[in-house]
Amino acid sequence: MIRIDWDEVEATKAKLLREGATDALEMVVIVLYYTKSECDKIQIRLGQLEKSLFDLGGNEDVKGIFLYDIEVRKPYLKCEEPNRVSALETVPNSGHPTILLEFNKMPPEGRDVWVEIALSKLQHYISQGV
């Protein structure tokens, strides 16, 4: 199950409001699951953020939630499982066959999110000095 840092949610929402957004700002929540390779895209308004995250956070099949602005291709908020095993330590040298086969089947937004996740994991792994 994912862990939602509610302080981070509030900080993100406050930052967007300070930058001129309103509660009516339309955002996309991208939901990644354990049991399927596709992601769901749920359109919400900024004013619905807490309720939407609360509803999704209780689903044990959810492995990650991203508050995303597709136009600028920027995630505003990431909520993931707290004790993830480093993907780089568990993927065989040849790559993970399921991800490699399904990568081209993902929608462009899903590929962008997947690549960003992979790069952030790589940066974290490198920064650990391992």
Average pLDDT for the chain: 75
Counting residues of the chain whose pLDDT is more than 90, the rounded percentage is: 0
Q: How far apart are CA 106 and CA 15, in angstroms?
A: 31
Confidence check: pLDDT of 86 > 70:
no
pLDDT band at residue 58 using 50, 70 and 90 as cut-offs = confident
Q: How far apart are CA 67 and CA 98, in angstroms?
A: 25
* Cα 77 versus chain centre, distance: 7
| pLDDT tens digit sequence for 88-114 | 444 444 455 555 566 677 788 777 787
3-state secondary structure 47-93: HHHHHHHHHHHCCCCEEEEEEEECCCCEEEEEEECCCCCCHHHHCCC
Structure tokens at 28: 């996309």
Beta-carbon count within 10 A of 100 CB: 10
Taking residues 105-127, what's their average pLDDT? 75
